[in-house]
Amino acid sequence: MFTEKFLEVVNHEGVVSIVTCSNNEAHAANTWNSYLVITEDNKILIPAAAMIKTEENVKANPKVKLTLGSKEVMGHMYMGTGFLLEGTAKFLTEGDSFKMMFEKYPFLTRVVEVTVTSCKQTL
Residue 38 or 86 with smaller CB distance to its own copies: 86
61 contacts its own copies (rule: CB under 8 A):
yes
Out of 5, 21, 62, 97, name the contact with its own copies by CB under 8 A.
21
Q: 16: closest CA among 55, 45, 40, 56?
A: 45
65 contacts its own copies (rule: CB under 8 A):
yes
- Identify the sign of the CA torsion 82, 15, 64, 87: positive
Out of 38, 42, 75, 80, name the contact with its own copies by CB under 8 A.
80
Out of 1, 28, 52, 74, name the contact with its own copies by CB under 8 A.
28
Chain contacts with its own copies (rule: CB under 8 A): 13-15, 17, 19-28, 30, 32, 34, 61, 63, 65, 67-71, 80, 82, 84, 122-123
